[in-house]
Structure 1
Protein backbone atom coordinates (compact mmCIF):
# COMPACT_ATOMS: atom_id res chain seq x y z
CA UNK A 1 0.00 0.00 0.00
CA UNK A 2 1.53 3.37 -0.98
CA UNK A 3 2.45 5.76 1.81
CA UNK A 4 0.58 9.04 2.37
CA UNK A 5 3.68 10.91 1.17
CA UNK A 6 3.84 8.94 -2.09
CA UNK A 7 0.13 9.43 -2.69
CA UNK A 8 0.43 13.16 -2.10
CA UNK A 9 3.40 13.44 -4.45
CA UNK A 10 1.51 11.58 -7.17
CA UNK A 11 -1.62 13.68 -6.71
CA UNK A 12 0.24 16.98 -6.88
CA UNK A 13 3.05 16.07 -9.28
CA UNK A 14 1.88 18.71 -11.75
CA UNK A 15 2.33 21.41 -9.13
CA UNK A 16 5.83 20.24 -8.28
CA UNK A 17 7.27 20.14 -11.78
CA UNK A 18 9.74 22.92 -11.04
CA UNK A 19 11.70 23.36 -14.27
CA UNK A 20 11.69 19.64 -15.00
CA UNK A 21 12.66 18.48 -11.49
CA UNK A 22 11.17 15.08 -10.67
CA UNK A 23 9.94 15.37 -7.09
CA UNK A 24 8.78 11.76 -7.08
CA UNK A 25 12.43 10.74 -6.78
CA UNK A 26 14.03 13.87 -5.31
CA UNK A 27 13.51 15.30 -1.80
CA UNK A 28 10.83 17.90 -1.30
CA UNK A 29 11.83 21.46 -0.62
CA UNK A 30 9.99 23.81 1.71
CA UNK A 31 8.46 25.35 -1.40
CA UNK A 32 7.08 21.96 -2.49
CA UNK A 33 5.56 21.45 0.95
CA UNK A 34 4.04 24.93 0.85
CA UNK A 35 2.38 24.23 -2.50
CA UNK A 36 0.95 20.98 -1.13
CA UNK A 37 -0.23 22.76 2.01
CA UNK A 38 -1.96 25.44 -0.03
CA UNK A 39 -3.62 22.83 -2.24
CA UNK A 40 -4.93 20.93 0.78
CA UNK A 41 -6.16 23.94 2.74
CA UNK A 42 -7.80 25.62 -0.24
CA UNK A 43 -9.81 22.49 -1.09
CA UNK A 44 -12.95 21.62 0.84
CA UNK A 45 -13.85 18.08 1.87
CA UNK A 46 -16.56 16.28 3.81
CA UNK A 47 -14.97 17.26 7.14
CA UNK A 48 -14.23 20.96 6.63
CA UNK A 49 -14.69 23.85 4.22
CA UNK A 50 -11.84 25.38 2.27
CA UNK A 51 -9.93 28.05 4.16
CA UNK A 52 -9.96 31.62 2.81
CA UNK A 53 -6.81 32.66 0.97
CA UNK A 54 -6.10 35.35 3.57
CA UNK A 55 -5.78 32.74 6.33
CA UNK A 56 -3.69 30.40 4.19
CA UNK A 57 -1.29 33.22 3.37
CA UNK A 58 -0.92 33.99 7.08
CA UNK A 59 0.02 30.34 7.64
CA UNK A 60 2.57 30.50 4.82
CA UNK A 61 4.06 33.62 6.40
CA UNK A 62 5.08 31.68 9.52
CA UNK A 63 8.91 31.52 9.87
CA UNK A 64 8.84 27.73 9.53
CA UNK A 65 7.42 28.14 6.01
CA UNK A 66 9.82 30.82 4.73
CA UNK A 67 12.07 29.85 1.85
CA UNK A 68 15.68 30.62 1.05
CA UNK A 69 15.48 32.75 -2.07
CA UNK A 70 19.16 33.52 -2.52
CA UNK A 71 22.43 32.52 -0.89
CA UNK A 72 26.10 33.38 -1.45
CA UNK A 73 29.05 31.92 0.40
CA UNK A 74 32.79 32.28 0.77
CA UNK A 75 34.95 29.29 1.64
CA UNK A 76 38.66 29.52 2.37
CA UNK A 77 40.97 27.56 0.10
CA UNK A 78 41.90 25.31 3.01
CA UNK A 79 41.31 25.20 6.74
CA UNK A 80 44.88 26.39 7.34
CA UNK A 81 44.65 29.14 4.72
CA UNK A 82 41.83 31.51 5.72
CA UNK A 83 41.22 34.90 4.17
CA UNK A 84 43.48 37.20 6.20
CA UNK A 85 42.05 40.68 6.64
CA UNK A 86 44.85 42.74 8.15
CA UNK A 87 44.59 46.17 9.69
CA UNK A 88 47.59 47.36 7.65
CA UNK A 89 46.61 45.64 4.40
CA UNK A 90 45.53 47.27 1.13
CA UNK A 91 41.96 47.64 2.41
CA UNK A 92 43.12 49.38 5.62
CA UNK A 93 41.34 46.84 7.78
CA UNK A 94 38.01 47.25 5.95
CA UNK A 95 37.35 44.24 3.72
CA UNK A 96 34.12 43.68 1.82
CA UNK A 97 34.24 39.89 1.60
CA UNK A 98 30.77 38.87 0.42
CA UNK A 99 27.98 40.48 -1.64
CA UNK A 100 24.60 39.17 -2.80
CA UNK A 101 22.90 39.73 -6.12
CA UNK A 102 20.86 42.95 -6.35
CA UNK A 103 17.37 42.59 -4.89
CA UNK A 104 14.28 43.40 -6.91
CA UNK A 105 11.18 45.22 -5.72
CA UNK A 106 9.31 41.92 -5.80
CA UNK A 107 11.87 40.31 -3.50
CA UNK A 108 11.73 43.25 -1.08
CA UNK A 109 7.98 42.75 -0.67
CA UNK A 110 8.57 39.10 0.27
CA UNK A 111 11.70 39.72 2.36
CA UNK A 112 11.52 38.50 5.96
CA UNK A 113 15.04 37.79 7.21
CA UNK A 114 18.74 38.03 6.33
CA UNK A 115 21.03 35.42 7.88
CA UNK A 116 24.76 36.11 8.18
CA UNK A 117 26.96 33.19 9.18
CA UNK A 118 30.74 33.16 9.39
CA UNK A 119 33.70 31.41 10.97
CA UNK A 120 36.32 33.82 12.23
CA UNK A 121 39.38 34.16 14.42
CA UNK A 122 41.84 36.92 15.21
CA UNK A 123 45.65 36.62 15.03
CA UNK A 124 45.70 34.45 18.17
CA UNK A 125 47.89 36.65 20.34
CA UNK A 126 48.08 40.13 21.89
CA UNK A 127 49.96 42.06 24.55
CA UNK A 128 46.90 42.09 26.83
CA UNK A 129 46.76 38.66 28.51
CA UNK A 130 44.01 39.80 30.88
CA UNK A 131 41.63 39.94 27.88
CA UNK A 132 42.63 36.67 26.24
CA UNK A 133 39.69 34.35 25.64
CA UNK A 134 37.12 37.14 26.10
CA UNK A 135 35.52 39.65 23.76
CA UNK A 136 36.96 42.61 25.66
CA UNK A 137 39.24 44.90 23.65
CA UNK A 138 38.77 42.72 20.57
CA UNK A 139 39.67 44.68 17.46
CA UNK A 140 38.51 42.28 14.76
CA UNK A 141 34.83 41.98 13.91
CA UNK A 142 32.18 41.61 11.18
CA UNK A 143 29.70 44.15 9.83
CA UNK A 144 26.55 43.95 7.72
CA UNK A 145 25.34 46.61 5.33
CA UNK A 146 24.12 47.52 1.87
CA UNK A 147 26.05 48.31 -1.28
CA UNK A 148 25.64 48.87 -5.00
CA UNK A 149 27.89 48.30 -7.98
CA UNK A 150 28.56 50.90 -10.62
CA UNK A 151 27.43 50.20 -14.18
CA UNK A 152 30.57 49.27 -16.12
CA UNK A 153 29.37 51.44 -19.01
CA UNK A 154 28.70 54.52 -16.88
CA UNK A 155 30.88 57.56 -17.52
CA UNK A 156 31.30 61.13 -16.41
CA UNK A 157 28.55 62.58 -14.25
CA UNK A 158 26.56 59.35 -14.22
CA UNK A 159 29.55 57.38 -12.96
CA UNK A 160 30.15 59.94 -10.21
CA UNK A 161 26.48 59.76 -9.23
CA UNK A 162 26.64 55.97 -8.98
CA UNK A 163 29.84 56.10 -6.90
CA UNK A 164 28.25 58.63 -4.56
CA UNK A 165 25.19 56.40 -4.19
CA UNK A 166 27.39 53.42 -3.38
CA UNK A 167 29.28 55.41 -0.75
CA UNK A 168 25.99 56.57 0.75
CA UNK A 169 24.67 53.01 0.91
CA UNK A 170 27.84 51.72 2.56
CA UNK A 171 28.03 54.51 5.13
CA UNK A 172 25.58 52.90 7.57
CA UNK A 173 26.72 49.48 8.74
CA UNK A 174 25.79 47.23 11.63
CA UNK A 175 28.23 45.32 13.79
CA UNK A 176 27.35 41.62 13.85
CA UNK A 177 29.95 40.03 16.14
CA UNK A 178 33.55 40.32 17.31
CA UNK A 179 36.12 37.57 17.33
CA UNK A 180 37.33 36.27 20.66
CA UNK A 181 40.42 38.16 21.84
CA UNK A 182 43.54 36.09 21.05
CA UNK A 183 41.31 33.17 20.15
CA UNK A 184 43.02 29.79 20.02
CA UNK A 185 40.71 28.42 17.31
CA UNK A 186 38.15 29.73 14.80
CA UNK A 187 34.56 30.00 15.98
CA UNK A 188 31.22 29.93 14.16
CA UNK A 189 28.61 32.66 14.47
CA UNK A 190 25.10 32.96 13.03
CA UNK A 191 23.34 36.32 13.16
CA UNK A 192 19.73 36.70 11.97
CA UNK A 193 18.31 40.13 11.10
CA UNK A 194 14.52 40.32 10.84
CA UNK A 195 12.05 42.79 9.38
CA UNK A 196 12.33 45.07 12.40
CA UNK A 197 16.05 45.66 11.80
CA UNK A 198 17.11 48.92 10.15
CA UNK A 199 19.07 47.04 7.48
CA UNK A 200 15.90 45.48 6.08
CA UNK A 201 13.96 48.72 6.48
CA UNK A 202 16.56 50.61 4.43
CA UNK A 203 16.89 48.21 1.51
CA UNK A 204 15.75 49.51 -1.89
CA UNK A 205 15.44 47.95 -5.31
CA UNK A 206 18.90 47.39 -6.78
CA UNK A 207 20.67 47.19 -3.41
CA UNK A 208 22.91 44.28 -2.46
CA UNK A 209 23.45 42.87 1.02
CA UNK A 210 27.12 42.81 1.98
CA UNK A 211 29.43 41.46 4.68
CA UNK A 212 32.60 43.21 5.82
CA UNK A 213 35.50 41.83 7.86
CA UNK A 214 37.17 44.50 10.01
CA UNK A 215 40.49 44.83 11.81
CA UNK A 216 42.09 47.92 13.33
CA UNK A 217 45.39 48.75 15.05
CA UNK A 218 48.79 47.28 14.13
CA UNK A 219 49.11 43.52 14.47
CA UNK A 220 45.40 42.76 14.44
CA UNK A 221 44.14 40.33 11.80
CA UNK A 222 40.66 38.98 11.05
CA UNK A 223 41.01 35.44 9.70
CA UNK A 224 37.86 34.40 7.84
CA UNK A 225 37.51 30.66 7.25
CA UNK A 226 34.06 30.80 5.68
CA UNK A 227 31.08 33.12 5.39
CA UNK A 228 27.56 33.09 4.02
CA UNK A 229 24.60 35.42 3.44
CA UNK A 230 21.09 33.99 3.05
CA UNK A 231 17.98 35.88 1.94
CA UNK A 232 14.81 34.33 3.36
CA UNK A 233 11.37 35.29 2.09
CA UNK A 234 7.73 34.40 2.43
CA UNK A 235 6.73 31.88 -0.23
CA UNK A 236 4.32 33.30 -2.82
CA UNK A 237 4.13 29.80 -4.40
CA UNK A 238 5.83 30.93 -7.59
CA UNK A 239 9.04 29.41 -8.92
CA UNK A 240 11.15 32.53 -8.53
Structure 2
Protein backbone atom coordinates (compact mmCIF):
# COMPACT_ATOMS: atom_id res chain seq x y z
CA UNK A 1 0.00 0.00 0.00
CA UNK A 2 1.40 3.40 -1.00
CA UNK A 3 2.28 6.03 1.63
CA UNK A 4 -0.38 8.34 0.17
CA UNK A 5 -3.12 5.78 0.81
CA UNK A 6 -1.79 5.02 4.30
CA UNK A 7 -2.06 8.72 5.15
CA UNK A 8 -5.30 9.49 3.33
CA UNK A 9 -7.54 6.74 4.74
CA UNK A 10 -7.03 7.64 8.42
CA UNK A 11 -7.39 11.34 7.58
CA UNK A 12 -10.70 10.75 5.80
CA UNK A 13 -11.94 8.60 8.68
CA UNK A 14 -10.97 11.30 11.17
CA UNK A 15 -12.81 14.03 9.24
CA UNK A 16 -15.97 11.92 8.94
CA UNK A 17 -15.76 11.08 12.64
CA UNK A 18 -15.47 14.75 13.62
CA UNK A 19 -18.43 15.66 11.41
CA UNK A 20 -20.68 12.99 12.90
CA UNK A 21 -19.52 13.81 16.45
CA UNK A 22 -20.23 17.52 15.95
CA UNK A 23 -23.60 16.71 14.43
CA UNK A 24 -24.73 14.49 17.28
CA UNK A 25 -23.33 16.72 20.02
CA UNK A 26 -24.98 19.82 18.61
CA UNK A 27 -21.71 21.76 18.36
CA UNK A 28 -22.13 22.34 14.64
CA UNK A 29 -24.97 21.79 12.19
CA UNK A 30 -23.40 20.26 9.09
CA UNK A 31 -25.10 20.49 5.73
CA UNK A 32 -24.18 18.37 2.73
CA UNK A 33 -22.91 21.56 1.08
CA UNK A 34 -20.30 21.83 3.85
CA UNK A 35 -18.86 18.48 2.80
CA UNK A 36 -18.99 19.30 -0.90
CA UNK A 37 -16.89 22.41 -0.25
CA UNK A 38 -14.12 20.51 1.55
CA UNK A 39 -10.88 19.82 -0.36
CA UNK A 40 -10.53 16.57 -2.24
CA UNK A 41 -10.64 13.67 -1.46
CA UNK A 42 -13.04 14.55 1.38
CA UNK A 43 -15.60 16.16 -0.97
CA UNK A 44 -16.10 12.80 -2.69
CA UNK A 45 -17.91 11.61 0.44
CA UNK A 46 -20.70 14.16 0.11
CA UNK A 47 -23.14 11.73 -1.60
CA UNK A 48 -22.55 9.13 1.14
CA UNK A 49 -22.87 11.63 3.96
CA UNK A 50 -26.10 12.97 2.47
CA UNK A 51 -27.71 9.76 3.72
CA UNK A 52 -26.08 10.05 7.17
CA UNK A 53 -26.62 13.71 7.94
CA UNK A 54 -30.18 14.97 8.33
CA UNK A 55 -31.48 17.66 6.01
CA UNK A 56 -32.69 21.02 7.27
CA UNK A 57 -35.07 23.72 6.24
CA UNK A 58 -33.17 26.52 4.58
CA UNK A 59 -33.06 29.73 6.62
CA UNK A 60 -35.79 32.08 5.41
CA UNK A 61 -33.56 35.07 4.79
CA UNK A 62 -35.30 38.09 3.35
CA UNK A 63 -33.88 38.81 -0.11
CA UNK A 64 -35.45 42.17 -0.86
CA UNK A 65 -36.65 45.34 0.87
CA UNK A 66 -38.15 44.96 4.34
CA UNK A 67 -41.24 46.73 5.62
CA UNK A 68 -39.15 49.21 7.69
CA UNK A 69 -37.22 50.05 4.51
CA UNK A 70 -40.40 50.87 2.61
CA UNK A 71 -41.88 52.85 5.50
CA UNK A 72 -38.69 54.88 5.92
CA UNK A 73 -38.61 55.84 2.25
CA UNK A 74 -42.31 56.71 2.36
CA UNK A 75 -41.76 58.94 5.39
CA UNK A 76 -38.95 60.80 3.63
CA UNK A 77 -41.09 61.33 0.54
CA UNK A 78 -44.00 62.56 2.65
CA UNK A 79 -41.80 65.38 3.92
CA UNK A 80 -41.58 66.81 0.39
CA UNK A 81 -44.70 65.55 -1.38
CA UNK A 82 -48.44 65.33 -0.68
CA UNK A 83 -49.01 62.29 1.54
CA UNK A 84 -51.73 60.83 -0.68
CA UNK A 85 -49.26 60.55 -3.59
CA UNK A 86 -46.62 58.62 -1.66
CA UNK A 87 -48.19 55.11 -1.77
CA UNK A 88 -48.55 55.29 -5.56
CA UNK A 89 -44.96 56.48 -5.94
CA UNK A 90 -43.70 53.63 -3.77
CA UNK A 91 -45.74 51.19 -5.85
CA UNK A 92 -44.56 52.57 -9.21
CA UNK A 93 -40.96 52.47 -7.98
CA UNK A 94 -41.54 48.78 -7.12
CA UNK A 95 -40.31 49.25 -3.57
CA UNK A 96 -42.22 46.15 -2.57
CA UNK A 97 -41.62 44.29 0.66
CA UNK A 98 -40.07 40.86 0.19
CA UNK A 99 -41.76 38.11 2.22
CA UNK A 100 -40.24 34.60 2.22
CA UNK A 101 -43.04 32.03 2.16
CA UNK A 102 -41.36 28.60 2.16
CA UNK A 103 -38.04 26.87 1.50
CA UNK A 104 -36.51 23.41 1.68
CA UNK A 105 -33.22 21.67 0.97
CA UNK A 106 -34.59 18.15 1.35
CA UNK A 107 -33.34 16.20 -1.65
CA UNK A 108 -35.98 14.48 -3.77
CA UNK A 109 -35.84 12.06 -6.68
CA UNK A 110 -38.87 11.96 -8.99
CA UNK A 111 -39.44 9.50 -11.85
CA UNK A 112 -42.38 9.09 -14.20
CA UNK A 113 -44.11 6.95 -11.57
CA UNK A 114 -44.12 9.85 -9.08
CA UNK A 115 -44.62 12.62 -11.64
CA UNK A 116 -46.34 15.69 -10.25
CA UNK A 117 -45.13 15.14 -6.71
CA UNK A 118 -45.21 18.29 -4.58
CA UNK A 119 -41.73 19.37 -3.52
CA UNK A 120 -42.57 22.64 -1.77
CA UNK A 121 -45.85 24.08 -0.53
CA UNK A 122 -46.46 27.65 0.63
CA UNK A 123 -49.51 29.24 2.23
CA UNK A 124 -50.65 32.73 1.34
CA UNK A 125 -50.53 34.50 4.73
CA UNK A 126 -53.75 35.70 6.31
CA UNK A 127 -52.05 39.02 7.11
CA UNK A 128 -51.86 40.10 3.47
CA UNK A 129 -53.68 43.38 2.75
CA UNK A 130 -56.30 43.06 -0.02
CA UNK A 131 -54.88 43.37 -3.55
CA UNK A 132 -51.36 43.94 -2.19
CA UNK A 133 -49.57 40.97 -3.81
CA UNK A 134 -47.31 42.18 -6.60
CA UNK A 135 -45.21 39.16 -7.53
CA UNK A 136 -44.19 35.60 -6.72
CA UNK A 137 -40.62 34.38 -7.10
CA UNK A 138 -39.67 30.72 -7.45
CA UNK A 139 -36.10 29.46 -7.09
CA UNK A 140 -35.25 25.81 -7.76
CA UNK A 141 -31.89 24.03 -7.74
CA UNK A 142 -32.09 20.75 -9.64
CA UNK A 143 -30.79 18.50 -12.41
CA UNK A 144 -31.78 15.39 -14.33
CA UNK A 145 -30.22 11.90 -14.30
CA UNK A 146 -27.07 13.19 -16.02
CA UNK A 147 -27.34 11.29 -19.29
CA UNK A 148 -29.80 10.71 -22.12
CA UNK A 149 -30.06 9.13 -25.55
CA UNK A 150 -31.05 12.41 -27.20
CA UNK A 151 -28.72 14.54 -29.31
CA UNK A 152 -29.30 17.70 -27.29
CA UNK A 153 -27.08 17.31 -24.24
CA UNK A 154 -26.49 20.49 -22.18
CA UNK A 155 -29.49 22.22 -23.75
CA UNK A 156 -33.16 22.49 -22.82
CA UNK A 157 -34.28 20.62 -25.94
CA UNK A 158 -35.95 17.23 -25.49
CA UNK A 159 -35.47 17.44 -21.74
CA UNK A 160 -38.17 15.46 -19.98
CA UNK A 161 -37.81 16.63 -16.40
CA UNK A 162 -39.40 19.89 -15.38
CA UNK A 163 -41.33 21.83 -12.72
CA UNK A 164 -44.80 23.29 -12.56
CA UNK A 165 -46.49 25.63 -10.10
CA UNK A 166 -49.96 24.59 -9.02
CA UNK A 167 -52.41 26.84 -7.19
CA UNK A 168 -54.45 25.00 -4.57
CA UNK A 169 -57.73 26.69 -3.58
CA UNK A 170 -58.82 26.69 0.07
CA UNK A 171 -59.85 23.24 1.27
CA UNK A 172 -57.70 21.35 -1.24
CA UNK A 173 -55.79 18.43 0.28
CA UNK A 174 -52.28 17.55 -0.89
CA UNK A 175 -53.33 13.90 -1.15
CA UNK A 176 -55.68 14.83 -4.00
CA UNK A 177 -52.71 15.32 -6.34
CA UNK A 178 -50.92 15.17 -8.63
CA UNK A 179 -51.92 18.69 -9.59
CA UNK A 180 -51.45 20.00 -13.09
CA UNK A 181 -50.00 23.47 -12.91
CA UNK A 182 -48.21 26.01 -15.03
CA UNK A 183 -44.73 25.20 -16.32
CA UNK A 184 -41.90 27.26 -14.81
CA UNK A 185 -38.58 25.40 -15.22
CA UNK A 186 -37.03 22.69 -17.40
CA UNK A 187 -33.84 20.91 -16.37
CA UNK A 188 -30.84 21.01 -18.67
CA UNK A 189 -30.63 17.81 -20.70
CA UNK A 190 -28.09 15.22 -19.48
CA UNK A 191 -26.12 17.40 -17.09
CA UNK A 192 -24.71 16.14 -13.78
CA UNK A 193 -24.22 19.69 -12.49
CA UNK A 194 -26.80 21.32 -10.24
CA UNK A 195 -28.38 24.42 -11.76
CA UNK A 196 -30.44 27.14 -10.09
CA UNK A 197 -33.31 28.75 -11.98
CA UNK A 198 -35.33 31.79 -10.89
CA UNK A 199 -38.79 32.57 -12.21
CA UNK A 200 -40.97 35.56 -11.26
CA UNK A 201 -44.69 35.99 -11.81
CA UNK A 202 -45.91 39.60 -11.65
CA UNK A 203 -49.31 41.19 -11.19
CA UNK A 204 -48.63 43.20 -14.37
CA UNK A 205 -47.03 40.32 -16.28
CA UNK A 206 -47.15 40.32 -20.06
CA UNK A 207 -48.86 36.94 -19.87
CA UNK A 208 -52.54 37.43 -19.07
CA UNK A 209 -52.89 34.06 -17.34
CA UNK A 210 -50.04 34.83 -14.96
CA UNK A 211 -51.50 38.28 -14.24
CA UNK A 212 -54.82 36.68 -13.36
CA UNK A 213 -53.18 34.09 -11.09
CA UNK A 214 -51.18 36.64 -9.09
CA UNK A 215 -54.13 39.00 -8.73
CA UNK A 216 -56.50 36.23 -7.68
CA UNK A 217 -54.38 34.83 -4.84
CA UNK A 218 -55.85 35.42 -1.40
CA UNK A 219 -55.29 34.11 2.13
CA UNK A 220 -56.21 30.44 2.27
CA UNK A 221 -54.72 29.60 -1.11
CA UNK A 222 -51.60 27.45 -1.37
CA UNK A 223 -48.81 27.60 -3.93
CA UNK A 224 -47.05 24.33 -4.78
CA UNK A 225 -43.87 23.61 -6.73
CA UNK A 226 -44.36 20.18 -8.33
CA UNK A 227 -41.61 18.02 -9.86
CA UNK A 228 -42.32 16.15 -13.08
CA UNK A 229 -40.60 13.51 -15.20
CA UNK A 230 -41.70 11.64 -18.31
CA UNK A 231 -40.48 8.45 -19.98
CA UNK A 232 -38.42 5.63 -18.61
CA UNK A 233 -34.96 6.46 -17.19
CA UNK A 234 -35.70 10.18 -16.82
CA UNK A 235 -35.18 11.33 -13.23
CA UNK A 236 -35.87 14.78 -11.81
CA UNK A 237 -33.46 15.37 -8.93
CA UNK A 238 -34.25 18.32 -6.68
CA UNK A 239 -31.70 19.79 -4.30
CA UNK A 240 -33.58 22.81 -2.93
CA UNK A 241 -36.30 25.35 -3.62
CA UNK A 242 -37.88 28.44 -2.14
CA UNK A 243 -40.91 30.62 -2.75
CA UNK A 244 -40.96 34.35 -2.03
CA UNK A 245 -43.56 37.01 -2.64
CA UNK A 246 -43.37 40.76 -2.99
CA UNK A 247 -46.08 42.94 -1.44
CA UNK A 248 -47.04 46.60 -1.74
CA UNK A 249 -47.01 47.37 1.98
CA UNK A 250 -47.35 51.18 2.03
CA UNK A 251 -51.06 51.54 1.39
CA UNK A 252 -51.63 54.95 2.93
CA UNK A 253 -49.84 57.64 4.91
Give the alignment's TM-score, normalised by structure 2: 0.64
Aligned pair in 2 of structure 1 residues 108, 72: CA closer, same or farther (>3 Å)? farther
Count of residues in correspondence between the two structures: 183
* Match among 65, 70, 75 for residue 34 of structure 1: 70
Q: C-alpha displacement at 1:148, in angstroms?
A: 4.3
Whole-angstrom CA distance in 2 between matches of 1:146 and 1:108: 18
SS at match of 1:100: strand
Q: What is the aligned partner in structure 1 of residue 109 from structure 2?
A: 84
Q: What is the aligned partner in structure 2 of residue 212 from structure 1?
A: 226
On the 8 A contact 2:133/2:215 being kept in 1, the answer is: no
Whole-angstrom CA distance in 2 between matches of 1:237 and 1:32: 14
Q: What is the aligned partner in structure 2 of residue 147 from structure 1?
A: 168
Q: What is the aligned partner in structure 2 of residue 19 from structure 1?
A: none
Q: What is the aligned partner in structure 2 of residue 59 from structure 1?
A: 89
On the 8 A contact 1:74/1:227 being kept in 2, the answer is: yes
Whole-angstrom CA distance in 1 between matches of 2:185 and 2:93: 24
SS at match of 1:145: strand
Q: Deviations over 1:126-158 (max 9, x none)?
A: 122x121111111100111211464xxxxxxxx
1:97 aligns with 2:119: yes
Whole-angstrom CA distance in 2 between matches of 1:107 and 1:123: 43
Structure 1: unaligned runs, 5 residues or longer: 1-28, 44-49, 77-81, 151-161
Task: Kindly report the root-mean-square deviation, in angstroms, between the aligned alpha carbons of the 2 structures.
Answer: 2.9
On the 8 A contact 1:142/1:178 being kept in 2, the answer is: yes
Q: C-alpha displacement at 1:103, in angstroms?
A: 3.9
Give the alignment's TM-score, normalised by structure 1: 0.67
On the 8 A contact 1:35/1:237 being kept in 2, the answer is: no
Q: What is the aligned partner in structure 2 of residue 117 from structure 1?
A: 139
On the 8 A contact 1:34/1:237 being kept in 2, the answer is: no
Whole-angstrom CA distance in 1 between matches of 2:135 and 2:115: 28
Whole-angstrom CA distance in 1 between matches of 2:70 and 2:170: 35
On the 8 A contact 1:114/1:193 being kept in 2, the answer is: yes
On the 8 A contact 1:85/1:213 being kept in 2, the answer is: yes
Structure 2: unaligned runs, 5 residues or longer: 1-64
1:174 aligns with 2:174: no
Whole-angstrom CA distance in 2 between matches of 1:108 and 1:217: 43
